Amino acid sequence: MGAAMVERLLTQKPVMVYNRSPEKLQPLQRAGADIASSVLDVLQQCEPIILMVSDGAAIQSLLLSESTKTGLNQRTIIQMGTIGSSESRAFQTAVEAAGGQYLEAPVLGSLPEAKAGKLLIMVGATSEQFQRCLPVLQLLGTEPQWIGEVGTAAALKLALNQLIASLTTAFSLSLSFVQQQGVPVEVFMNILRQSALYAPTFDKKLERMLDQNYANPNFPTKHLLKDTGLFLREAEPLGLAVDSLAGVQQILETACDAGWAESDYSALFAAVSAALRSPEA
């Protein structure tokens, strides 16, 4: 996702990039991006700084080490990955203590939307911060939305990803059930499409599930598992009944344990099927 976002930004302005795995930057360098030798290099030369990394632990190690946090003074950090709302508020506190500013701007969408500048961007910040960073955010999404203070956009993103996990698991279970009961898939889909139960994501993932083709993911199963765990961690202290999502988490773990961690999350279908197949099968 980060690489796709850089490709989009490069069509509009110069971009400096850093990655902990330098070999991943070679295509971006060929596309015209400047390559930074360190995080501190980025902090010293860029404003604002966009983060798109895997989780809160990666943010902590990249941004708040002893060698980098001194570079946060008078810098604006736009954190666009999916993390917990409590994590995001903690990062805001740490960045502001170092003299910088922090916004969260998680996104909904995948690689095609990132490359086309059509991501759905949710922003947690002050209204002044939102307006100041809006021109940059509009390069990645046509209508970024200000949700509220830091933490609110992170929570909204987790709520949406919880739906991804739950809807995909529920659809996978129904699809597998009708197959094994001898109901033609197209009959099932025709009825479903005419009902209030239908969600476009069902057709988006149907072919992958029927073909058991989970390669070239836009969103890997391991990331959906991570986000499901984040939702559970944030929801349990609120007293919400999360038993159903805990079951989804177990199915995601089954998919990852079977070898689909790096594959498209439509591999949930294989994990709920009676005949679980490994990627090598």
Length of the chain in terms of residues written: 281
Q: Which two tokens stand for residue 30?
A: 């060929």
274 confidence band (pLDDT: 50, 70, 90): low
Query: What is the rounded average pLDDT of the residues 106-116?
Result: 93
Query: What is the rounded average pLDDT of the residues 195-221?
Result: 96
Rg (CA), the chain: 20
Pick 274 or 133 by higher pLDDT. Answer: 133
Confidence check: pLDDT of 163 > 60? yes
> CA of 110: how far to CAs of 29, 64, 162, 261, in Å?
22, 28, 16, 17
Q: What is the DSSP letter of 117?
A: T
Residue-wise over 49-75: b if at least 16 C-beta within 10 A, else e?
bbbbbebbeebeebbbeeebbebbeeb
Query: What is the rounded average pLDDT of the residues 267-277?
Result: 79
Q: Is 35 exposed, middle or buried (0-12, 13-18, 19+ CB in 10 A)?
A: middle
Query: What is the rounded average pLDDT of the residues 53-68?
Result: 92
281 confidence band (pLDDT: 50, 70, 90): very low
Confidence check: pLDDT of 133 > 70? yes
203 confidence band (pLDDT: 50, 70, 90): very high
Q: What is the pLDDT of residues 213-258, one digit of tens each?
A: 999 998 999 999 999 999 999 999 999 999 999 999 999 999 999 9
Q: What is the mean pLDDT of the chain?
A: 94
Query: What is the rounded average pLDDT of the residues 28-44?
Result: 94
Confidence check: pLDDT of 278 > 70? no
Match 């939102």 to its residue by tokens.
Answer: 130
Question: Which domains, from first to last, does the chain contain?
Answer: 2-149 (3.40.50.720), 154-272 (1.10.1040.10)
Q: What is the pLDDT of residues 83-101, one digit of tens each?
A: 999 999 999 999 999 999 9
Query: What is the rounded average pLDDT of the residues 59-88?
Result: 94
At 146, give phi and psi (nearest 5°).
-80, 120
Confidence check: pLDDT of 122 > 70? yes
Confidence check: pLDDT of 107 > 70? yes
Give the amino acid at 165: A
